[in-house]
Amino acid sequence: MIGRLAGRLIHKGADQVMIDVGGVGYVVHVSDRTLMGLPGLGEAVALYTDLLVREDLLQLYGFPTLHDREWHRLLMGVQGIGAKASMAILGTLGAEGVGRAIALGDWGAIKAAPGVGPKIAQRVVNELKEKAPAVMALGGHLSPDPAAGEVIAPADPAPRAGNKTRTKAPAAAPVSSSVSAQADALSALGNLGYAPSEAAQAVARAAGETPEADTTALIRAALKLLAPRAD
C-alpha cells in the first residue's frame, strides 16, 4: 500500500500529476483544489495517497493532508460514490467544508460538486451524519510529518554513478487552526455529555459564522446554540 509520496513534481495534467520519486514517475490523480495548491514543475512536493485497486486498474489518488484522505475513504463507502465523485466533492468543498455540510444536513452543498445529483447528495448526508463527527474530531489531530524526508533525485537525465542531488521534499500541508479548533471543540462538547451528531452540528454552525474563532470561542458559540435544547 502506497500511503505517501514525496519527490519532484514533473508534470501537471487536468486532473493528475506525475511525481518523480528516486527516478520513478508516479501518476497521481488529484482534485482541482489540490492541483491549485501544488508548487511549480521541478519543485519538491509531498502528497498522501490512496490506492484504488480493480481487476484492470490501479490508480493513485493524492491529498494534501491525512484529513482529506480520511474523508475520501469515508465518501467512497457511500453507495453511488466512486473515486471521481469523491474527488469532485472534496475539490468543491474541501475536507472542512464536507464535514460542515454533512453535520448541518446541507446536501445542497454536496450537490454543488460536478457530477453529483440530488439523490446521491442526500444519501451522502444521511449515511455519513453519524460518522462525520468522528472524522471532524480526527482532523485536528492528524498532524503532518515532523520533518521532511530526503528524496534522492537525479541531477540530470543521465547521472553518473555517485552523482546524485539530494533535495528536500516538504511535509504535507499543516492542519489549519480552524480544523484543530473544531476538533478540540467537538471533544470538549462530547466531554460535557452532548451527542456527537448534535455537537458536530453546533460546532459546524459556529465555525461557519466565525471562521477564525479559536477553540474557546467555538465552544462558547456552540453552547449558545445548544442551550435551548438543554431545557
The CATH number linked to 193 is 1.10.8.10
> Would you place residue 25 in the very low, low, confident or very high pLDDT band (cuts 50, 70, 90)?
very high
pTM of the prediction?
A: 0.71
Does 170 share its domain with 191? no
We report the CATH number of the domain holding residue 117 as 1.10.150.20
* Domain interval for residue 198: 177-230
Give residue 146's pLDDT: 36
Q: How many residues does the chain have?
A: 231
Mean pLDDT of the chain: 81
pLDDT > 70? residue 184: yes
We report the CATH number of the domain holding residue 40 as 2.40.50.140
Does 128 share its domain with 165? no
Domain boundary at 120, 139, 158, which?
A: 139
pLDDT > 80? residue 72: yes
Measured between alpha carbons, how far is 181 from 168 in angstroms, rounded to an integer?
30
How many structural domains is the chain composed of?
A: 3
Does 50 share its domain with 154? yes
Measured between alpha carbons, how far is 190 from 5 in angstroms, rounded to an integer?
35
Cα 226 to chain center, whole Å?
Answer: 28
pLDDT (tens digit per residue) in 208-217: 888 778 888 8
Does 94 share its domain with 61? no
Give residue 202's pLDDT: 86
pLDDT > 60? residue 99: yes
pLDDT > 70? residue 168: no
Does 108 share its domain with 220? no
pLDDT > 50? residue 175: no
The cell numbers describing 80, all together, are: 453511488
Does 134 share its domain with 76? yes
Lowest-pLDDT range, 72-86, 94-108, 109-123, 128-142? 128-142
> Would you place residue 38 in the very low, low, confident or very high pLDDT band (cuts 50, 70, 90)?
very high
